[in-house]
Structure 1
Amino acid sequence: MNDEGSIPVQGRTPPAEAPDASETPAGATPAARPRRRGLRTAGRLAVAAVLGLVGGTAVGYGIQAEREPTPLPPLNQPALAYPKPLPGGEEPEPFSAAEDRQVKAEGDLRKLLLPRPAGARPDGVDGWWSLAEYANDFTWPGAALEHQLQLDIRRVAVRSWLSGEDRSVSIRLVQYRPSSMIGPLEFVRDQQRNAIRDDESGSLGTEVKGSGNGRYFLYPVERKPGYQDFHQARAFVQKDDIAIEILVFDARKIAEKDIRSLAERQLERL
């Protein structure tokens, strides 16, 4: 019993009186509250539950892996063949060699070139062009060859001639491998963009009738002191795995019907 007559309880410490805020020294850090033991116990139980779940899942996968695989049930429709063959006597007739475009393109590509007009004179190569020779006809041969190889170029047939006094005509059939059908279309579009860029008049060219994507271009005359006038026309058409290039140069004016006729007739031969 203390002096005031109260009896202390065994094992229990009387609560300390809260310090007066006015008595806390300036700049001192207040003491942290003591951690409650219940939160730590709950955390341990949660971790144990997660470990038990992971362990059970692993054991389940192990048991499933040791079992024999369950065979799938048979299909309800065992004869699934599409397209189904036609009854006897109703099969279509196969294409003739004249109708089958692939047969024509797989043959001698030189035979598909327009013939040289009567009275015209050969000019340069008339037949096959190696890939290196073809690339050398571009402004940057190395870059052109690399680009053509990326497009999966296969072979090039060319026919060139001179007619009249100064007219030069060159027709090229550039064939790409069937595995890269995008090759001829991309090349033709590239050449058409170049042709539009080179035409200071802003012309977008004229569609080649029946081609779907072919265009021909007729350029304004170029004049320089001391030189002959320079006229040119170009045509670029894609047909299946073949890109058609037609280039015409002359010191005299080129009629629109001339380049249009060359493009349409060469397309017909394919």
Structure 2
Amino acid sequence: MSEQQAVVPAPVEPAQEAAAPTAVPAVPEAPRPPRRALRAVTRWTAAVLVFGGLGTGTALAITSAERTDVPGLATEGDGRWEYPELSLPALPAGSPRPFSEANTAEIHHADLRKLLLPAPAGATPDKALNGGWVKQERFLAEYRAEDRDELAQLLNDTPPRHIAARGWTMPDGTRARIYLLRFNSTAFASHVRDELRIKASMRLPLAGAVETEYDTTWKSPRAVEGVVSYVLTEKAPHGDAHTRQAYSVAGDTLALIVHERPGKEESARIPFQQTVILQNQLLG
């Protein structure tokens, strides 16, 4: 499996929020990036050099998780999925990145749909979660029927501006779903996180994973600056499927990431943690 590349923000181009990222032609020299962004670039570059390198010509891309971020990764056969080369989307003219020094409110100005992780190689896309906007009811369907009214009231009191989602199924049957909820402020996103009470035993669990516990193998809660993740796994013995889930809070945006594998085997840990880290990189 080929290695993938590291997160480095692309130059800010005057573009509509929904415009898809394209090859960037030569432009006049951009303003000096914020110090925090420079530190992030330096840190990722150093990681690439220290942990084996990713080859030449990869400095402007986002890559899979570093081996130090996903404990137990081996050089070959580690089970990672092969994601396409990623890049951060263009921003509206004059808009800062969410965690730059110029953006104290930690607002995401890019089109939320462009911040969704794309499906990896070999995946069958979910036609209902195709990377576009979804209604609140679709998000609520991830939770137990008896909890949906309470969660709906929470989202009515603290309404998200948008919900974007993407899903796919892998050859081994694993179903992946990612939801991004953008709120009017970081306070709203944090309030919803707090009301969900993301603990080892969730007060509002997913429909397919009522009994959960923290994934103690997850060692990267703040691997991406500005993004905090809470990673859980379904307790054994599980039912007809095994579910892994993570909530990531990134400024004004809350992400729900789910891997669900039918059958007696557990959903694979390495590709799940890889998915979480890559999605976090896009949000950071």
Q: Scaled by the length of structure 1, what TM-score is found?
A: 0.55
Q: Secondary structure at the match of 2:169?
A: strand
Q: Secondary structure at the match of 2:223?
A: coil
Instruction: Determine if contact 1:216/1:259 at 8 Å carries over to the other structure.
Output: no
C-alpha distance 200-131 of structure 1, shift in aligned 2 (>3 A): closer
Which residue of structure 1 lines up, in the alignment, with residue 18 of structure 2?
Answer: none
Q: Secondary structure at the match of 2:176?
A: strand
Counterparts of 1:21-60 in structure 2 under 5 Å?
none
Instruction: Determine if contact 2:200/2:214 at 8 Å carries over to the other structure.
Output: no
2:263 is the counterpart of 1:248: no
Whole-angstrom CA distance in 1 between matches of 2:184 and 2:254: 12
2:121 is the counterpart of 1:118: yes
2:151 is the counterpart of 1:144: yes
Q: Secondary structure at the match of 1:177?
A: coil
C-alpha distance 125-246 of structure 1, shift in aligned 2 (>3 A): same
Q: Secondary structure at the match of 1:210?
A: coil
In structure 1, stretches of 5+ residues that fail to align are 1-91
Whole-angstrom CA distance in 2 between matches of 1:218 and 1:133: 22
Whole-angstrom CA distance in 2 between matches of 1:158 and 1:201: 23
Q: Scaled by the length of structure 2, what TM-score is found?
A: 0.52
Counterparts of 1:46-125 in structure 2 under 5 Å?
97=91, 100-102=96-98, 105-123=108-126, 124-125=128-129
The alpha carbon displacement at 1:94 in A equals 7.7
More RCO (CA 8 Å, sep 6+)? 2
Which residue of structure 2 lines up, in the alignment, with residue 163 of structure 1?
Answer: 170
C-alpha distance 203-141 of structure 1, shift in aligned 2 (>3 A): closer
RMSD: 3.1
Instruction: Determine if contact 1:156/1:175 at 8 Å carries over to the other structure.
Output: yes
C-alpha distance 220-146 of structure 1, shift in aligned 2 (>3 A): closer
The alpha carbon displacement at 1:192 in A equals 5.3
Which residue of structure 2 lines up, in the alignment, with residue 53 of structure 1?
Answer: none
Alignment length, in residue pairs?
173
Q: Name which of 232, 244, 248 aligns with 1:237.
A: 248
Letter in 1 for 2:235: P
Whole-angstrom CA distance in 2 between matches of 1:93 and 1:203: 41
Q: Name which of 217, 231, 239 aligns with 1:216.
A: 231
Counterparts of 1:158-197 in structure 2 under 5 Å?
158-178=165-185, 181-191=186-196, 193=198, 196-197=201-202
Larger radius of gyration: 1
Q: Secondary structure at the match of 1:106?
A: coil
Instruction: Determine if contact 1:192/1:215 at 8 Å carries over to the other structure.
Output: no
Please state which structure has a larger fraction of its residues in helix: 1
Q: Secondary structure at the match of 1:184?
A: helix
Identity in percent:
20
Which residue of structure 2 lines up, in the alignment, with residue 260 of structure 1?
Answer: 273
Letter in 2 for 1:101: R
The alpha carbon displacement at 1:200 in A equals 5.2
Whole-angstrom CA distance in 2 between matches of 1:223 and 1:131: 28
Q: Secondary structure at the match of 2:231?
A: strand
Whole-angstrom CA distance in 1 between matches of 2:268 and 2:197: 20
